[in-house]
Chains A and B, each alone.
Chain A
Amino acid sequence: MSRDRKLILNSLEKTKEIASEIADKITSISKDSAKIIFLKGDLGAGKTTLVKEILKFYGLSEPVTSPTFTIIEPYLIKNKKIYHIDLYRIENRKELEVLGIDEYSNESDSIIFIEWPERGEGFFKDCDLEIQLNHLSENSREVIIKNFSN
């Protein structure tokens, strides 16, 4: 069973606040393999922006650029491996096998953020956290956080 939490984001300050809350939540997950975070939501909903703020909270100083074209953007923050993956341009599961993406999820003590996880349905093991972002208006978003970890 997941525990849902629903909030409204209407400013960068609020986004930073939620990002820090999510960052803490991820840290508290205890697991041998990679911690997997799904990010769902339409184009422009703010998925990459949220990942950017979470990584800033972990101490990243370099810019977080969109992985839409590069598919995987890896980061190393204080010896912790973080992978920011975007499946937007992925058309089928076979592609994920060709890319060797499963190698990343077997790494322990790493964190994997996956945007558009729907495009790789069934490929990834269950996620620990699912973040859904919905458009409300130009400057506000609804965010639903589902926690699947124990």
Chain B
Amino acid sequence: MLVLGIETSCDETGIALYDGKQNKIIFECLYSQANKHSLYGGVVPELAARDHVNKFLPLLKKGFKDSGLSLKAIDAIAYTKGPGLRGPLMVGASFAKSLGFALNKPVIAVHHMEAHLLMAKYDAPNLSYPFLTLLVSGGHTILAKVDKSGSYKILGQTIDDAVGEAFDKTAKMLGLKYPGGPEIEKRSIQGKCMDYNFPRPIINSDDYNFSFSGLKTAVLYKVNSLKKKEKLSEELISNVCYEFQNAAIDCLLHKTKKALKDFHLNQVVLSGGVAANKELRRRFSEELGIGYSSIYPDFSHCTDNGAMIAFTGFEKFNLSKEDNRIFVNPRWSLEEIANG
């Protein structure tokens, strides 16, 4: 059974084809600055970010051409119904519904965050319920308990900035390029402990929430005071990156450990763009303690992608089939999957 997955909730335009019978991704395409030349051949149009409309067809054509399959071979279409930006979500929904109508195939609505956390099941097939999940990206920092597919309880989340945003803004303050997360990770390798005393906001609070706004501001003032004394050398930049990354990971690790213990769980699935951070993976693997394990999706499936939508669409095939009306749910809660 072949499911086409379409992701357009925010920045990325992603399309993928998943074969449920063989549990295999046939192809996955993500629009990026890097591959736009191969998608358009000679003349590359000037596309605005999040202009998903004009990115769909070249991606779709490339995917089917490379795989040698025909569009008619698909059995269902899955799309991101929410949460996300209303405009981009509508584009994906309209595209999915139109394709379903034209090919007379069922269309399945997928929850973006659920897709992120279920994707770990594709990359780590031995994963069993229940488990804890930590979703860490530019827009979200969520700790949730997963009892079974479709049943989620949000234990905590950020009360201000998401952890990925803190990475990006720290990079910006240091003059590093965007996206800042991978840059901070790279620089940190050369960095060393400097006792900058960056705060770990609400790390000892008796809940499972996170806060990164205060850490961002502390980094800003540290950078400004360092700049006053001397030029911001490569060495200083690396040290700030190291200290910042350590503080951010401490917060994530501490609350994850607390939730694992309090809810008697022994495995945590990390997902979202920040889950691609190798130092985060190393520390979770080494510091969770005996009896606990951390599970990660493949690096290519950490950021938004079409494969996770196709995979989740297959998982949900028997639960959710929609009529031809086009609607999205920009504020769909992970706890209310069934009422989306």
User: Residues of A with Cβ closer than 8 Å to B?
Assistant: 43-44, 48-49, 52, 63-66, 68-72, 74, 89-92, 94-95, 97-101, 138
Contacts and interface: CB of A to CB of B under 8 A. Distances in A.
Given A44-B216, A70-B10, A70-B85, A99 B50 contact: yes
Interface string B123-141: 0000000000000011100
Given A69-B165, A70-B139, A74-B330, A48 B50 contact: no
8 contacts: A43-B173, A49-B160, A63-B158, A91-B48, A98-B50, A98-B88, A100-B86, A138-B217
B162 A95 contact: no
A49 B213 contact: yes
A6 to B, nearest CB: 22
Contacts of A43: 169, 172-173, 216, 220
B49 interface: yes
Interface residues of B, number: 34
A69 B160 contact: no
B89 to A, nearest CB: 11
B161 A65 contact: yes
Interface in B1-52: 10, 48-51
A66 B161 contact: yes
A44 B168 CA distance: 13
B164 interface: yes
B48 A98 contact: yes
Contacts of B160: 48-49, 52, 63-66
B331 interface: yes
A52 B87 CA distance: 25
Nearest to B165: A68
B157 interface: yes
B161 to A, nearest CB: 4
Interface in B88-104: 88, 90
A63 B159 contact: yes
Given A43-B220, A74-B330, A63 B157 contact: yes
Interface in B130-189: 137-139, 157-162, 164-165, 168-169, 172-173
Contacts of B139: 68-70
A74 B331 contact: yes
A67 to B, nearest CB: 9
Given A65-B159, A66-B213, A91 B138 contact: no
A126 B139 CA distance: 29
B221 interface: yes
